[in-house]
């Protein structure tokens, strides 16, 4: 059962229009999440595992495959396990899909930004 007292937070990249759009949608509805500039303060592997659990997805679904690091690190290799993908995201936070909104003990990737409203 999701914990409604769990912190409301947004893993945010202010340079990303989708991330800015999601934050704006939340603020228009009176929601002021804890904003985590994940490129400046990247989540560690444990936090990423927690996020994946809240999202209900595997690590590959949180990966940005268009980033240079994705190609350079060979992350398209289907034989790579969850641990390797999580370690890559922890070491290279640009690989993390954005924004990720956490609310009420659940999470959603805000692409399109309106998806964040699903948790309200």
Distances (CA, A) of 5 to 1, 9, 16, 51, 99: 12, 12, 28, 16, 21
* Structural tokens at position 38: 């994940």
Please state whether the peptide bond connecting residue 24 to the residue before it is cis, i.e. omega within 30 degrees of 0: no
Q: Which of 6, 8, 16, 39 is catalytic?
A: 16
Query: Is 16 one of the annotated active-site residues of the chain?
Result: yes
Active site residues: 16
């Amino acid at each position: 059962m999701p914990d409604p007292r769990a912190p409301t937070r947004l893993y945010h990249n202010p340079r990303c229009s989708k991330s800015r759009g999601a934050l704006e949608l939340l603020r228009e509805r009176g929601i002021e999440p804890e904003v985590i500039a994940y490129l400046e303060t990247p989540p560690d592997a444990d936090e990423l595992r927690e996020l994946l659990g809240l999202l209900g997805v595997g690590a590959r679904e949180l990966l940005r495959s268009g980033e240079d690091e994705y190609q350079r690190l060979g992350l398209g290799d289907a034989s790579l396990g969850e641990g390797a993908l999580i370690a890559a995201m922890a070491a290279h936070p640009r690989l993390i899909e954005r924004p990720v909104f956490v609310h009420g003990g659940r999470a959603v990737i805000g692409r399109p930004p309106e998806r964040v409203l699903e948790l309200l």
